[in-house]
């Protein structure tokens, strides 16, 4: 009887050994929205700019306006990819945007002066050193990645990050990056490809079976191509739901409680 119970226990507590688990960085492993980062963000953007923008542009998403202005100035869809793929330096990319924000040619783009001032401050804030200052490791990500290693999985990073900022971020957050084999870190600025386009996923998979990979990203758009080519995907919204999904997929043992 004891042998039967033991056998059943092993069956129901079995997890997938040797899976390839791929983590995005921003919004999954790293974030810029923690309470600790707020003073630096407010300082760099300016309290007056933030307050003024909020009053005159309620319910608007500034990131959408930033991307739209980038595309307009560079006359290219997803203009940010130029910077993320390392085709232009951060300094050059944002210097052109800052200059354009002062150019009467683009004045009709801005809904009001408060938006112009806020976007200009944002472009200065996104330069490598300032951006790096507000980045921190997300809560629970270190624990989950350590657990993946303990359970025999191979871990990867696949992220859109420019080649100038990433070395600074990697050094600052070395505690978590040291868990990954150096050859398993795939950054758009090094590969000259970026998400959500297919080539960056091909760089990761090479000749391996896509079904062996489990890709975790907080942006749904970045999961579309992986699903098309046969990778398993997890849409990350928070670590509680991601851990639950990983347990359901057999990536983490769920026969005993996962420590939060």
The distance from CA 90 to its chain's CA centroid, rounded to whole angstroms, is 18
According to the model, what pLDDT value does residue 62 have? 86
CATH (one of 3.30.70.20, 3.40.50.720, 3.40.50.150, 3.40.50.1000) for 15-31+136-248: 3.40.50.1000
How does pLDDT run across 148-196, given as a tens digit for each residue? 999 999 999 999 999 999 999 999 999 999 999 999 999 999 999 999 9
Q: What pLDDT sits at residue 58?
A: 72
- Does the pLDDT at position 73 exceed 50? yes
Q: What average pLDDT is seen over the chain?
A: 86
pLDDT given for residue 57 in this prediction:
76
Residue 43 predicted with pLDDT over 60: no
Give pLDDT tens digits for 221-259.
999 999 999 999 999 999 999 999 999 999 998 544 455
Output the pLDDT for position 59.
64
| pLDDT reported for residue 95 | 93
Identify whether the C-beta of residue 237 lies closer than 8 Å to the C-beta of residue 1.
no
Domain map (residue ranges) of the chain: 15-31+136-248, 35-133
| Comparison of pLDDT for 253 and 138, the residue scoring more | 138
pLDDT at 113 over 50: yes
> What per-residue confidence (pLDDT) applies to 1?
45
Whole-Å CA distances, 198 to 21, 27, 43: 18, 21, 38
DSSP sequence for 152-185: T-EEEEEE---TTHHHHHHHHTHHHHTTS-GGGE
By the 8 A CB rule, do 29 and 176 touch? yes
pLDDT tens-place string over residues 11-28: 445 456 689 999 999 999
Angle CA 195–136–202, to nearest 5: 20
């Amino acid at each position: 009887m004891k042998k039967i119970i033991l056998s059943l226990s092993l069956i129901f507590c079995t997890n997938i050994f040797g899976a390839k688990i791929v983590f995005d960085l921003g919004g999954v492993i790293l974030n810029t929205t923690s309470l600790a980062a707020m003073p630096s963000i407010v300082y760099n953007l300016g309290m007056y700019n933030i307050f003024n923008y909020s009053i005159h542009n309620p319910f608007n998403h500034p990131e959408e306006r930033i991307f739209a202005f980038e595309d307009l100035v560079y006359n290219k869809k997803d203009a940010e990819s130029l910077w993320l793929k390392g085709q232009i330096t951060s300094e050059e990319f944002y210097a052109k945007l800052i200059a354009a924000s002062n150019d009467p040619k683009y004045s009709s783009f801005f809904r009001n002066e408060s938006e112009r001032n806020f976007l200009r401050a944002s472009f200065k804030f996104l330069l490598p050193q300032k951006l790096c200052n507000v980045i921190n490791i997300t809560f629970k990500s270190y624990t989950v990645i350590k657990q993946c290693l303990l359970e025999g999985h191979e871990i990867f990073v696949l992220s859109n990050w420019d080649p100038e900022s990433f070395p600074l971020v990697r050094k600052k957050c070395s505690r978590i990056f040291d868990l990954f084999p150096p050859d398993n870190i795939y950054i758009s600025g090094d590969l000259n490809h970026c998400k959500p386009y297919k080539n960056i996923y091909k760089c990761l998979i090479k000749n391996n079976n896509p079904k062996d990979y489990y890709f975790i990203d907080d942006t749904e758009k970045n999961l579309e191509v992986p699903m098309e080519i046969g990778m398993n995907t997890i849409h990350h919204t928070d670590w509680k739901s991601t851990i639950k999904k990983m347990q359901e997929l057999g990536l983490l043992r769920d026969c005993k409680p996962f420590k939060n």
